[in-house]
Chains A and B, each alone.
Chain A
Amino acid sequence: MFQKKECIAMLLAGGQGSRLYTLTEKTAKPAVPFGGKYRIIDFPMSNCVNSGIDTVGVLTQYQPLVLNEYIGNGEPWDLDRTRGGVTVLSPYEAKGGKDWYRGTANAIYQNLTFIERYDPEYTLILSGDHIYKMDYSKMLDEHKKNGADCTIAVLEVPMEEASRFGILNTDDNNKIIEFEEKPKQPKSNKASMGIYIFTTKVLKKYLIEDEANPESSNDFGKNIIPNMLADGCPMYSYTFEGYWKDVGTLTSLWEANMDLLGNPPAFNLYDRKFRIFYRHNAFPPHRLGADSVVKNAMITEGCVIDGTVENSVLANGVIVEKGAVVKDCVIMSGVRVRAGAKLEYAIVDSDTVIGENAVVGENKESQKLLLLGAGLEFPAGAKIPGGVMIDANNIKEFIG
């Protein structure tokens, strides 16, 4: 049963996220844990639901197991619907041949049948690698008001950083005149957030044309948007105000976690009117022992803290034993820091154990962020320098 929808979302979640190294070895980037109990994809998914969009296609490709499991039937986001809901769209074999998703535009092209089932006037294209809270319905209102074929969400970035982004040059009515990918001499500071609303019938036309062009790299930023601009389609920018962070690198992932701290924090997750939904694990409440010291930290259910935790985000079921110190860290679920150990300026993936009195990482001022992979065991007294990345393949070099 396919009910006609005004707007559906297509979430591009196939990215590998190679700059997150071991964190994305077995997991697609959108499924990387964030903020204690979330995964990156929870943000665009929750945004959809909070914007009244109840039909979401999630396009997966790279290491999809964890991501597919996590999305499941969409129940955590109220997307287990009879009419609409979430559908995982993976590459498939068809009569005419088989193909991986070759680019962002090609991925959507291959799923035009899915879009057509709901016959939406508008299609929202999202990516699964940003942390932000956004009401897409306001952007859609703007799109309709302008009679646009395409609306691109933009963030006003500091001028000196503008050359790192795809920059939109617009007129006074936010109508896009020019699109420049990473310009050396930026003329504006409106950076594309990779969030597009298309009028579906225009999108379809351009996707089909683009697919027919063997020279094209089938990418929204490189092909579809410039082609539409060249043809004079009405395209507008929509300025988003609020927190937005690309968590494509280890440093930015660490920073985004730190932005949750503080009161009020740079990025606030405590707003009950705009909740971020996540797949739930049944952990008991967390416990702070008699000697615990916890300062400027986020602690999740299932943790047991008997040591010191400062400026850190701890996920489900992390154990910090007596005398242990955790400082400036992002710790994922099930990690155990044994008595007397010291852990500084690190991202630690799930279920890793830091042995007694081990000294792991260097202080934040060193600017040497440490990455420890999942399921590793560091023996008592181990000494691990900052600025390295350790996983099951190279741990021997560090613990002898």
Chain B
Amino acid sequence: MSVTGIIFCNIHDHTISELTRVRTLASVPFGCRYRLIDFPLSNMVNSNISNISVIANYNYHSLMNHIGSGKDWDLARRSGGVKILPPYIDPHMSNQTNATYNTRLEALKGIGYSIAQMTCDYVVMTDCNVICNINFNDMINDHIASGADVTMAVKRMELTRAMANEQTLVTSSKEGKITDLLPYPSNFEGFADVSLNILVINRKYLQDIVLDATAHGYVSMTRDVFLRSLSTKNYRIYRYDGYFACISSFEDYYAHNMQLIENQEMFNSLFNIEERPIFTKVRNSAPAYYSESSNVHNSLIADGCIIEGTVENSILFRGVRVGKGAVVKNSILFQDTIISDNASVAYTTCDKNVIIRNNVTLSGHSTLPLYIDRGRMV
């Protein structure tokens, strides 16, 4: 059995435009030392999927920088490994707009040639907006055993109306056959099976879909392909019960980060599963140093930080400096942020390389976390 992985990087960029202005959603930092793409990449590697295509659309420099040769995920391989597929505009195509693609299906059409060349048995496709630690081997075995054309990962959860509006809900029969798909309903609340935007699909069927979609000019995988074929094809669900975070807004992003501090069980269900570690780019930082004057509680701290001040309920990425007398509360500080002596930040997300000068006080609010651009000096 051979499996190829496809990861979509930009599909949901619009959901947190603050952070994706300078990067893809896939390269948005998360969880103190990771980028969102580390989760699908690690999930695949941990399930022995070592032939992975990463489909990028725009702003993918940070992504390429992060993935490099792929060796930090053990994906620098002679056969397979990870490759980034950036888009290109085909001058011979008739429907000439400068846009490259907006949906999964359009992205797949864009790499139609690569897909036509595939010889694997199954394809695992995932977006980057859902953070989870999922065992793809188990999901693929389930897919094979059930004889499905497509298997979608779902998680049962309680949704508010606002949350439901950001998700695709999946209805299925007792036997697990999908009976309906509800993309972004605006009037639903209560318990539902939520799609993780992760699916296993037979390679041959995927090739047919892409050819057919090109012929018909289809745009949406869910609406134009799956919903039209619900009765004729065998689409099934795979129940996932682990850590789940869907990044659908900046507030969401902030809340999910904070949850990792507050809830250790949740933290462990994402990061501390035996045989399924999350890998990320190695930076060769020294361990974090806490000085005599440091005072740190309820926080997640990455290597390379030097802390001399007070830190509470915060997440510090690699290489952050917190000076003497500085106070950091309820904040997320990205890589190499410097909080100078006696400065104070609260409810603030500082992007990479931000410098907060001496004695500056900054504060957002729990309902409106502040965001400081990459490289800004305050």
Which positions in A face B, CB cutoff 8 Å? Answer: 35-37, 75-76, 260-263, 265, 269-270, 272, 275-278, 280, 282-292, 294-301, 304, 313-315
Contacts and interface: CB of A to CB of B under 8 A. Distances in A.
B106 interface: no
B287 A299 contact: yes
A318 B32 CA distance: 18
B284 A276 contact: yes
Contact of B298 (A260, A277, A288): A288
A253 B220 CA distance: 62
Contacts of A275: 284
B274 interface: no
A277 B297 contact: no
Contacts of B287: 35-37, 298-301, 313-315
B300 A285 contact: yes
Nearest to A279: B282
A262 B293 CA distance: 11
A286 B301 contact: yes
Contacts of A262: 291
A295 B296 CA distance: 10
Q: Which 7 A-B pairs have the closest CB atoms?
A: A269-B286, A284-B271, A285-B32, A282-B277, A36-B287, A300-B287, A294-B290
B289 interface: yes
A263 B301 contact: no
Contacts of B299: 287-288
A299 B285 CA distance: 12
A37 B283 CA distance: 13
Contact of A276 (B282, B286, B298, B308): B286
A284 B272 contact: yes
A333 to B, nearest CB: 11
A290 B279 CA distance: 27
Contacts of A300: 287-288, 303
Nearest to B264: A287
A262 B302 CA distance: 18
Given A282-B278, A287-B267, A288-B301, A295 B286 contact: no
Contacts of A291: 297
B302 A301 contact: yes
Contacts of B282: 76, 280
A282 B370 CA distance: 31
Contacts of B289: 260-261, 263, 265, 270, 297-298
B57 interface: no
Given A261-B289, A295-B291, A301-B303, 11 more contacts: A37-B286, A75-B71, A269-B286, A282-B280, A285-B33, A285-B303, A288-B301, A296-B292, A300-B287, A300-B303, A313-B287
A286 B296 contact: no
B298 A289 contact: yes
A60 B177 CA distance: 60
Contacts of A263: 289, 291, 306, 308
A270 B279 CA distance: 22
Contacts of A292: 296-297
Contacts of A284: 31-33, 267, 271-272, 278
Among B31, B297, B319, chain A packs the most CB atoms within 10 A around the CB of B297
B288 A299 contact: yes
B369 to A, nearest CB: 20
A282 B270 CA distance: 13
Interface string B307-327: 010000001000100000000
11 contacts: A265-B289, A269-B286, A284-B33, A285-B302, A287-B264, A288-B297, A290-B298, A298-B287, A298-B289, A299-B301, A313-B287
Given A263-B291, A263-B308, A285 B298 contact: no
B10 interface: no
A260 B319 CA distance: 16
Given A286-B300, A287-B299, A35 B278 contact: no
Interface in B348-367: none
Contacts of B331: none
Contacts of B267: 284, 287
Contacts of B278: 282, 284
A329 to B, nearest CB: 14
A287 B282 CA distance: 19
Contacts of B32: 284-285
A99 B243 CA distance: 56
Contact of B290 (A265, A276, A299, A304): A299
B257 to A, nearest CB: 11
